[in-house]
Amino acid sequence: MPGNPSEITRTFLANASRADTQFIFDNYSFGFHSGTIQSFINRLGNKNIIIDNRIGPNDPEVRKQLLSSKKTTKTGYMHDKFFLFSELKGIGRNVVLQMSANINDTQYYQFNSLIGFCENETLYNQYLEHWNAVKYSIECRTDEEDEAEVRQEIIRKYRKKEPTGKFKFYGFPRHGCPIERELNEVIKTADANTHVEVCMSFFSRHRVHRQMTKLKAKGANVRIIMSDERVNEAAAELFSKSESQVPFTIIRNDDWKNRMHHKFVLIEHQGKRAAWIGSYNITRPGLRLNDEIAVRVEDDAVHKAFKTEFSVMWIRQTGEAMWFL
């Protein structure tokens, strides 16, 4: 990430007049960074700033002042973390920056990742379609009943396509988790040459917990890193049982610093290596409620980069050596 959050903000504001610049901010960011977002509104105008107001007020008076004309919704929220650039000088066209981090001062010191894609028009357009779907869903919902109907419309319209190729894009909410589907296929033929690493800030999908135990039972190499969150307690309890024997470690929160905020899954099976990256935590809200993204990247270099990050955290936490490529 180039510099700290303040530098990123100043860079965007300094160049806002040179391009058509639009932002979607979630309500959580608004509450903690209302001054920064006010700077964007002052420079770009309300029409270029959309606030997703679905997770309850943090600063009602400030929000009332800034969002008097905005519609609000009450369940689910925008959890995406990406930038789209139609063109960046010296880099190229159709640039996507996908992060696990929010741009704020606390996550600048946490375990996070950023991956960039360039000159991939198909992937860029899939991100752009998702951005428009999120914008539409925020602007047209006014209550919980309306939100449920709109979410089903979004799923019908945007989530039916099954992606193909080296980069597979999945937008959420959706019916059925694509990571679970791949793991089900891996389980069928898993053996001692199968490797699965899960590095997930929030990891509460019981189905995936059971998939990890099945993989381990078939002799696969499984490792899991989770953050110190209450929603991960069920997973930790299951993996701690003697009959499960799934190696895992938990990175403890230290006053929001050194927190593990990654969201990636690595799969190595039958000579193929894939990395799942994005904003998606493996949770029920992540699957069914939130606006999220998961991208499956089948690329040895990307897989190796994320596996190195996983290995560094694993060794730091456990002191145990790990397999390397």
For the chain, which residues make up each domain, given as ranges?
5-165, 178-318
- Over 80: is that where the pLDDT of 156 sits? no
Query: At a CB cut-off of 8 Å and minimum separation 6, what does 198 contact?
Result: 208, 212, 222, 223, 224, 225, 265, 266, 282
Tokens 């898993």, located at residue: 190
Q: Which of 85, 114, 110, 111 is nearest to 99 (CA)?
A: 114
Query: At a CB cut-off of 8 Å and minimum separation 6, what does 315 contact?
Result: 321, 322
- Over 80: is that where the pLDDT of 320 sits? no
Half-sphere exposure of 234 (CA within 13 A, CB side): 11
pLDDT score for 31: 47
CATH architecture under which domain 178-318 falls: 2-Layer Sandwich (3.30)
| CA–CA–CA angle 197, 268, 191 (5° rounding) | 95
Helices (H), the chain: 5-15, 27-32, 34-44, 60-66, 121-140, 144-158, 178-189, 206-217, 233-240, 284-288, 300-318
What average pLDDT does this structure show over 205-210?
93
**Structure confidence by residue, pLDDT tens digits, 102-147:** 877 676 778 899 999 999 999 999 999 999 888 887 777 655 556 6
d(CA 52, CA 290): 11
Mean pLDDT of the residues in the chain: 81
Query: At a CB cut-off of 8 Å and minimum separation 6, what does 132 contact?
Result: none
Sheet holding 263-269, edge to edge: 167-172, 292-297, 272-278, 263-269, 195-200, 221-227, 248-251
In 3-state terms, what secondary structure has residue 222?
strand
d(CA 238, CA 141): 39
In 3-state terms, what secondary structure has residue 84?
strand
pLDDT level of residue 256 (50, 70, 90 thresholds): low
Higher model confidence: residue 96 or residue 230? 96
Residues 33 and 49 sit within 8 Å (Cβ to Cβ): no
- Over 60: is that where the pLDDT of 55 sits? no
pLDDT level of residue 298 (50, 70, 90 thresholds): very high
Helices (H), 220-263: 233-240
Query: At a CB cut-off of 8 Å and minimum separation 6, what does 232 contact?
Result: 202, 203, 204, 226, 250
Whether omega for the bond prior to residue 173 falls within 30 degrees of 0, making it cis, is yes
Q: Which of 161, 220, 214 is nearest to 184 (CA)?
A: 214
In degrees and rounded to multiples of 5, residue 43 shows phi and psi of -85, -40
Query: At a CB cut-off of 8 Å and minimum separation 6, what does 303 contact?
Result: 266, 268, 273, 274, 275, 297, 325
Q: Tokens in use for 319?
A: 């002191």
**Structure confidence by residue, pLDDT tens digits, 166-180:** 999 999 878 789 999
